[in-house]
Amino acid sequence: MAWHSGCYSGNSPTIKRMPQTKRTVKGVLGGLLGLVGLSAVAGLLVTATVTPAIAMAGYTGSQALTLFDELPSYLKPSEPMAPTTIYANDENGQPFKLATFYEQNRTPITFSKLSPTLVDALLSSEDKNFYSHGGVNLLSTVKAAVENFKGTSSRGASTITQQYVKNVLIQQCEQEVPTDDEHYDDKMQQCYLDAATAKGSAGIERKLQEMRYALQVEKDYSKNDILLGYLNVSNFGGTTYGIEAAAQRYFSTTAANVSLVQAATLAGMVQEPNLLRIDRPGGTWTKKVDGQDVGQNSEADGYATTKDRRDYVLGQMYKNGQITKAQYDEAKATPVTPQLSDTRQGCSTAGDNAYFCKYVQSVLKDDPAFGATAEERAANLKRGGMSVYTSLDMRLQGPAIQAVHDRVPPTMGGIAVGGAGVSVEAATGRILAMAQNTSFSEAADASLAKGQSSQVFAADSKHGGGIGFSVGSTYKLFTLIDWLEKGHSVNEVLDGRTSSVFGKYNRDGCGGAYTLPRQPDRAIGNSGNNPGYTGSVMKFTAASLNSGFLAMAKQLNLCDINQVAKRMGVHLGSGWDVTKSDNKYNPGANDPFASVLGSKNIAPLQIAGAYATVANNGKYCEPRVIDKIIGQDGKEIAPPKESCTQVIAPEIAATAAYALRGVMEGGTGSNANPRNGVQLIGKTGTAEKAHTMLVESSTKVATAVWVGNVTGDESLRKFSYKGIQLNNIRYSMAKAIQRAANEIYGGDAFPSPDKNLTRNVLKDLPNVVGMTVDAATKTLEDAGFQVSVGEAVDSDQAAGIVAAQAPGAGQVAAGTTVTISPSTGKQVETGIEVPDVSGKSTAEAVIMLNGAGFSNVKWDGKCQPSSQVTDTDPPAGSMAQATQQIKVQCEKDNGR
């Protein structure tokens, strides 16, 4: 029994106290009948107190003795049902109550927290000989047993020890009723009826059992323990259980600080708690007055029934000398005046933190750490008395709430608008903040039209959310990671024109090739109708170029891209595997639009977690919200197991971060950069104009925000709030939240990218001299080069034919801009002198020869870009035509 056993030290001169030590059976029975022999006491106890009633049922004395002996003799009081309380951390890092969940609102306390006046009031009215008897009041029990048998009464006439036993038995019965039982209310009521109102022979057996258990309890526990246990377990009306919760509920105080009037009221209430409760202004019972049902024990009649009982308690206290005549008169003249405190439970009490609370509740109801079965977890949530300390940090939660509420209205005509922000700690996965534009409500009539919802927009369906929202280009992260894992460089240049991305995409392992046909209904759109361009992966990432990422994906496997997402903690909001197709939740899971451009419904939290993985050097940490749990017994309970796993190599993460920094430093996310001295990575995402997302992360904290349609698909561009189009709200919202995160948690510089993954990639530049300008342009662009048409030059080529190109054919950096010069049609009468390039590197020699006007420069097999040139053919000083091949010669291969 986990209760403090300090000695009671009230002021009554008439109530005898016993030493607070555990007593032997002989000592207990001695307290009943003095020095009567132990064997005789058992017979006397049964024969003298019980046999008369049993005899009426046909039992003989010897049978009565046998019946008593055969009753269970040991009762181990379990911890009473107690609320589970969820705590968050305030701005000073101190825990505060976020919400409670309970079937019985109870706050167990220790004996030292009981007011002596309260103890005097209870003992005077319920059991004035509590500290001197041995657990059973013989004469009262005999009378009650006889009346029970006759059916004239079901009253207890019990000692506090017997009442405690009865309440423990009720509690143990209630704890066996599953919280989700179809007949829950009926079974809970039956627990009370079986223990408290049985009549006839069943009532006799109940009294016998109470007596037998009471003797054992008196043997095993001190008087103070028993009294405290009784006060902690007893009902005080409705769902209010235990003296501390009762003091808080009815008088907004504590059991240690109740006044004389309050103590007498509470002490009187235990007799018939639901009749005498004072939190129903309309009354606790009714009677006919002029043919009408009129509430009694109501605010209107001054809670007359409760006052009568209270005044009885005061009279007993005065009679026993525990209060003076003046105290008695003053207290009796005082009206019953409740000072009720709110006892609402659940996440609705958490205000703007309710959506985070809902996420925590889902963990408590689902994680095996809190019970092997759903039934056990549900019971532990409302009965287990856990103190759950969470990761919510009000230093960041406060700014997040303000950022969302200032920018996204709870309702807006013509659109079911939603907005949410969530921040996670990169190195642990702890959710630090979770804010939403709506008001939390689980009421049956709650609606988005009234700005109410219980759906957690930032979370998946498993954690109180829905099926997620289309994340758009934030999903491009996984194409970038796969690109790097395949050994490609972020400085590799690709043809990212929209016209080049049609055709076949590899899906080996998940459905074979996918053909993206060149059809009007599958047009590839870039922001601002940009037709795309030839550029580097770095540039594609910063600009979020759709066609550029599709060009990357053509060299990859769409299945692998989705597998990267899965590794980094991403699943659909429905819980469905992001790599697998499903007609309802994940159609076309492995087509380019889903796999590259992000037409998948995913919760913002999963996207934040993926970018946090990059910030955490490739280590993914599952989101978690619980830091510590303390059980009702004061011992720590192991929280759900932390899980952080290296899912991408550190050099891949570092290089991806290098590219993603470009988004926040001049790219599409730069307007969301708070620029307070902390490096950030990030990505923007827009989905069919109906959803927008932005994610950004320091090395410490990742934040994802979403603004879009909760239901429907209205274009965000058609609506504005405070002068800003809804599709642009994400920038300032993410900026405000991340600024606060940076100020609180700081951030380090991201690691340097891998040299191999940032190398310049050389490509073969074709010779286009002699082609038409159009043919030369197509040839160069198809090879991945950009083209610039220069001024016409005199040459032996026909007019309009390419007479020169710079640089000339050969290996050059991918993506180089090639200048082509058409011929004027005029023959060159004199040649060009070949310059002396000996001693130069191959690359420098080519540049010098191109600059001199030669368009067809080659080098022999010994040459590399950094090799030293020994000669040319034709040699330096000779005359040659501009289109004549000039061959560079090298002494040896010095490597690249």
pLDDT tens sequence across 490-500:
999 988 888 77
The residues, any chain, with a CB within 8 Å of residue 493's CB and separated by 6 or more, are 534, 535, 536, 761, 763, 784, 813, 814, 815
C-beta separation of 626 from 360 below 8 A: yes
Compute the distance between CA of residue 477 and CA of residue 544 in angstroms, rounded to an integer.
10
The residues, any chain, with a CB within 8 Å of residue 688's CB and separated by 6 or more, are 470, 599, 713
More confident residue, 79 or 10: 79
Confidence of residue 44 (pLDDT cuts 50, 70, 90): very low
Q: pLDDT above 90 covers what percent of the chain?
A: 60
The residue ranges of DSSP E strands in 525-648, in sequence order, are 534-536, 601-602, 619-621, 626-630, 636-637, 644-646
Structure tokens at 99: 């919400």
Q: Is 763 strand, coil or helix?
A: strand
Structure tokens at 489: 């460089």
Ramachandran angles phi, psi of 792, nearest 5°: -70, 145
Residue indicated by tokens 């020890």: 161
pLDDT of residue 12: 38
Answer yes or no: is pLDDT of 811 > 60: yes
What amino acid occupies position 615?
A: A
In order, the DSSP letters of 345-381 are -SGGGGGGGHHHHHHHHHHHHH-GGG-SSHHHHHHHH
pLDDT of residue 71: 61
Confidence of residue 22 (pLDDT cuts 50, 70, 90): very low
The residue ranges of DSSP E strands in 754-849, in sequence order, are 762-765, 786-789, 802-806, 810-813, 817-822, 832-833
Helices in 50-197 by DSSP H: which ranges?
51-55, 61-70, 116-126, 138-150, 160-175, 184-196
**Average pLDDT score over residue span 845-873:** 88
pLDDT of residue 194: 78
Compute the distance between CA of residue 444 and CA of residue 869 in angstroms, rounded to an integer.
84
Strand partners, 37: none
Strand partners, 628: 389
The most distant pair of C-alpha atoms in the chain lies apart, rounded to whole Å, by 143
Strand partners, 505: 514
**Average pLDDT score over residue span 551-574:** 95
Distances in Å between the Cα of 774 and the Cα atoms of 112, 495, 769, 797, 833 are: 95, 17, 12, 16, 30
More confident residue, 440 or 149: 440
More confident residue, 885 or 681: 681
**Average pLDDT score over residue span 70-81:** 72
Residue 20 CB neighbours (<10 A): 16
| Burial category of 566 from C-beta neighbours within 10 Å (exposed 0-12, middle 13-18, buried 19 and up) | middle
Confidence of residue 230 (pLDDT cuts 50, 70, 90): very high
Answer yes or no: is pLDDT of 139 > 70: no
More confident residue, 150 or 249: 249
**Average pLDDT score over residue span 475-496:** 95
Compute the distance between CA of residue 224 and CA of residue 76 in angstroms, rounded to an integer.
17
**Average pLDDT score over residue span 82-102:** 94
In order, the DSSP letters of 675-686 are -SS---EEEEEE
Ramachandran angles phi, psi of 704, nearest 5°: -125, 135
Compute the distance between CA of residue 468 and CA of residue 572 in angstroms, rounded to an integer.
7
141-155, 383-397, 597-611: the lowest-pLDDT one: 141-155
**Average pLDDT score over residue span 619-625:** 98
C-beta separation of 498 from 533 below 8 A: no
Q: Is 409 strand, coil or helix?
A: coil
Look up the pTM and report it.
0.78
C-beta separation of 231 from 242 below 8 A: yes
Mean per-residue pLDDT over the chain, rounded: 86
Distances in Å between the Cα of 860 and the Cα atoms of 93, 201, 837, 869, 888 are: 71, 114, 15, 10, 6
Ramachandran angles phi, psi of 782, nearest 5°: -65, -25
pLDDT of residue 851: 87
Distances in Å between the Cα of 739 and the Cα atoms of 92, 457, 606, 748, 870 are: 19, 22, 21, 15, 59
Compute the distance between CA of residue 736 and CA of residue 303 in angstroms, rounded to an integer.
53
Upper half-sphere CA count for residue 265 (Cβ side, 13 Å): 30
Confidence of residue 192 (pLDDT cuts 50, 70, 90): confident
Confidence of residue 144 (pLDDT cuts 50, 70, 90): low
**Average pLDDT score over residue span 754-758:** 97
Confidence of residue 146 (pLDDT cuts 50, 70, 90): low
Answer yes or no: is pLDDT of 392 > 70: yes
Strand partners, 424: 431, 702
Compute the distance between CA of residue 105 and CA of residue 238 in angstroms, rounded to an integer.
9
Upper half-sphere CA count for residue 574 (Cβ side, 13 Å): 14
Exposure pattern of 796-809 as b/e (b: 16+ CB <10 Å)? ebeeebbbbbbbbb
Compute the distance between CA of residue 226 and CA of residue 3 in angstroms, rounded to an integer.
9
Confidence of residue 197 (pLDDT cuts 50, 70, 90): low
Residue indicated by tokens 């609180």: 744
Distances in Å between the Cα of 623 and the Cα atoms of 363, 432, 459, 610, 627 are: 11, 10, 10, 10, 12
Compute the distance between CA of residue 74 and CA of residue 217 in angstroms, rounded to an integer.
8
Compute the distance between CA of residue 882 and CA of residue 885 in angstroms, rounded to an integer.
8
Structure tokens at 379: 């019971």
Could you read off the pLDDT of 688-744 as tens digits, one per residue?
789 999 999 999 999 999 999 999 999 999 999 999 999 999 999 999 999 999 999
Compute the distance between CA of residue 112 and CA of residue 124 in angstroms, rounded to an integer.
20
Measured N-to-C along each axis, helices 260-269 and 243-251 cross at an angle, to the nearest 10 degrees, of 120
C-beta separation of 756 from 719 below 8 A: no
Compute the distance between CA of residue 695 and CA of residue 687 in angstroms, rounded to an integer.
14
Compute the distance between CA of residue 674 and CA of residue 738 in angstroms, rounded to an integer.
7
